[in-house]
Amino acid sequence: MFKKRDPDPNFDLDLDFDFEVKRSARRKTLCLQIRDGHVQVVVPTRTPERQINALVNKHKDWVRKKLGEQLARPKAPPKAYVDGEIYGYLGQDYRLKIVDGAPWPLERVDQELVATLPARLVGEARTTKVKARLHEWYLQAALEQFQERTEVFSRRLDVTPTLVKVKSYKRRWGSCSTSGEISYNWRLVIGPAEVMDYVVVHEVSHMLEHNHSPAFWRIVKDLMPNYREQQAWLNKFGGTLAI
């Protein structure tokens, strides 16, 4: 539950934002983080309220700055899933075309994404089906792209992932397990191909360095010298990657 913490009577806690406290028996230190506009403090189980308040109060200007930056980032406009709408794929625009006919998976034809639906489907049922068709298509397209690009960059590092898959992550773009299993956020396929490649490079590099040490970033830079440009794009426009 998100709420302002009750201040210690001897402690001046004057905040214009809410924050959540998450206590963990596994946590050894205090951590202040901001994700999707939510402020969270992760602390060891027995951390006193006064210490939590002191941490937030100390960094309140930084929190306000980061919340403002996140609020200012572009967001994807809501979709109506109707004929003529524009959807992104590898940084290119495609127009949604809805036609009547026997049920068929969505197809990419030239600069169109064609959804074929039974004429009897109308109203909300039709909208729901179009959305489902789009989601199915993007998942499959993303998987194919990530498998192909992962193979390309893996060969350059002489590593072999045990599995490549896509997921519907909310707060991350990819992950690489210690066993070599790599997962990607399927939404990346909506954006520019170079940005998708950056995430692939990032995760494949973890096959050699499972951390974010200077050695890790040297591997990333060797594979993609301009990775900072793609990283910056993702930080700013990641919120637009939605259907």
Dist CA 239 CA 77 (whole Å): 10
CA dist list (Å): 175 to 30, 74, 146, 155, 166: 24, 24, 13, 19, 10
Both tokens of residue 195? 């940005």
Q: Pull the structure tokens for residue 121.
A: 């489907």
pLDDT of amino acid 9: 40
Span 226-241, pLDDT tens digits: 999 999 999 889 999 9
What torsion do the CA atoms of 123, 125, 127, 128 make, to the nearest 10 degrees? Answer: 160
Specify the pLDDT at position 114.
97
Place of tokens 């939510």: 38
Render pLDDT for 1-45 as a digit per residue (tens, 0 to 9): 344 444 444 445 668 888 989 999 988 899 998 876 788 899 999
Which of 79, 76, 173, 197 is closest to 133 using CA atoms? 79
Question: What is the predicted pLDDT for the residue at 170?
Answer: 82
Domains of the chain: 20-72 (no CATH), 86-240 (3.30.2010.10)
pLDDT in tens, 140-196: 999 999 999 999 999 999 999 999 999 998 879 999 999 999 999 999 999 999 999
Question: For the segment 37-69, what is each residue's pLDDT rounded down to a tens digit?
Answer: 788 899 999 999 999 999 998 999 888 888 877
The per-residue pLDDT of the chain, averaged, comes to: 90
Give the number of other Cβ atoms within 10 Å of residue 116's Cβ: 16
**pLDDT on residue 137:** 98
User: For the segment 92-149, what is each residue's pLDDT rounded down to a tens digit?
Assistant: 999 999 999 999 999 999 999 999 999 999 999 999 999 999 999 999 999 999 999 9
Supply the pLDDT for residue 13: 60
